[in-house]
Amino acid sequence: DAGVIQSPRHEVTEMGQEVTLRCKPISGHNSLFWYRQTMMRGLELLIYFNNNVPIDDSGMPEDRFSAKMPNASFSTLKIQPSEPRDSAVYFCASSYGGAGALFFGSGTQLSVL
Amino acid sequence: DAKTTQPPSMDCAEGRAANLPCNHSTISGNEYVYWYRQIHSQGPQYIIHGLKNNETNEMASLIITEDRKSSTLILPHATLRDTAVYYCSDPQTSGSRLTFGEGTQLTVNP
């Protein structure tokens, strides 16, 4: 298996633009997680899905952030409009089962100018 | 949320054992302890997890105290490639909401 695949690896955009991050989880995994990492705040859980259904989105910063999982093999995290403070590395992770080990993707480095 | 505390940094000589402690005094009886590491600019990597008993795999050993309030990750023969930030973390049983603390920066020196 290729592992969790995220795209793009790097994204540079201007303030106010829409940003869409993509994630393909490991085949067979039924839980998917979006994390954000910054120097100031460390690794933060934004949202997680179980069987394609959002279970906990309490970590989503504000209404500018939205996440979808239309099927078991694809998820998106969208920021609209983007702001410089959204600059961070965004990781997607997947697991099997409610308390299984998480497998992370390589992340998307987002820079909002 | 259950909380974990770890020392911010540790050093270890190459070839020696690295023992990384974690306190999770508020962990509940059915919560697992997970360990991950993150090498600079990469995604976190799963290492090992346990509930009550000590565990060992090809990467490391995990020692959990009998009262489960702390654990130690052991890298038996540390290499330079083990230099990373190590996180101990515990998922809430109500949905695998895995959270991370600040971790321990382990530096393996030649």
Interface A-B: count of C-beta contacts within 8 A: 53
- B46 and A102: CB-CB below 8 Å? yes
Q: Please name the residue that has the structure tokens 């009998």.
A: B66
Q: Are B66 and B92 in contact (CB under 8 A)?
A: no
Give the residue from chain A lying closest to B48, CA to CA.
Answer: A101
Residue range B82-101, pLDDT digits in tens:
999 999 986 654 445 677 77
Residue range B3-31, pLDDT digits in tens:
788 999 999 999 999 999 999 877 777 77
d(CA A68, CA A59): 15
- A106 and B49: CB-CB below 8 Å? no
Q: Which residues of A touch B (CB under 8 A)?
A: 4, 31, 33, 42-43, 45, 48, 50, 55-56, 91, 93, 95, 97-107
Q: Does B102 touch chain A (CB under 8 A)?
A: yes
Residue B75 CB neighbours (<10 A): 21
Host H or E run for residue B85: strand B84-89
Residue range B40-71, pLDDT digits in tens:
889 999 999 998 889 999 999 999 998 888 99
d(CA A5, CA A92): 8
Which three-class secondary structure string do you get for A15-66? Answer: CCCCEEEEEECCCCCCEEEEEEEECCCEEEEEEEEECCEEEECCCCCCCCEE
Would the pLDDT of A2 be above 60? yes
**Cα-Cα-Cα-Cα dihedral sign, residues A22, A8, A92, A72:** positive
